[in-house]
Amino acid sequence: MSFQASDFDEDGDVMAEINMTPLVDVMLVLLIIFIITVPVINHAVKLDLPKASSQKEEIKPTKIALAIDAGGGLSWNGVSVPAGDLESRLQAAAAQQAQPEIHLQVDKHAEYEHVAQFLSAASRHGLSKLAFVTEPGKN
């Protein structure tokens, strides 16, 4: 290792200080490069994209109000239905995409045979969402 005259101070000792000027120059150049390039990197076009969901969209089932009176007569959503027409209506209801809920309201004086026939017909057509409607406190 050779020493030059500039490496010694006034007393003839070796200088042990680091010259910081080149380091500061390099850091300033890097700072300027980053200041110029960061806005270019973050430049983007803003789009309003539709939001997607991975959850299954649930279709609310329709509700069918079926009433059986004391004499065995049927009422489909408030409209009187002949007993022979019940099979075709149940078949149409079973063919719907979202299986409808059937709310069954039976008169307390109706024979159980009428209820059993309806439940059997609903089961034959694959309708399984049945609810029994009661009116509490009514005699």
pLDDT at 129 over 90: no
Q: What is the pLDDT of residue 32?
A: 93
- pLDDT tens digit sequence for 67-110: 988 888 888 888 888 878 888 888 888 888 888 888 999 888 88
Distances (CA, A) of 34 to 20, 22, 40, 87, 101: 21, 19, 10, 77, 65
Q: What is the pLDDT of residue 87?
A: 86
pLDDT at 28 over 90: yes
For β-strands 101-106 and 63-68, DSSP reports them as parallel
Task: Tell me the three state secondary structure of residue 108.
Answer: coil
pTM for this entry: 0.55
Please report how many Cα atoms fall inside a 13 Å half-sphere around the Cα of residue 63, on the Cβ side. 9
Q: Tell how far CA 66 is from the center of its chain.
A: 33
For residue 64, give the nearest of 101, 112, 30 by alpha carbon. Answer: 101
**115 burial class (0-12, 13-18, 19+ CB within 10 angstroms)?**
middle
Least confident of 30-34, 130-134, 135-139: 135-139
Average pLDDT, the chain: 82
For residue 64, give the nearest of 26, 108, 118, 24 by alpha carbon. Answer: 118
**24 burial class (0-12, 13-18, 19+ CB within 10 angstroms)?**
exposed
pLDDT at 61 over 70: yes
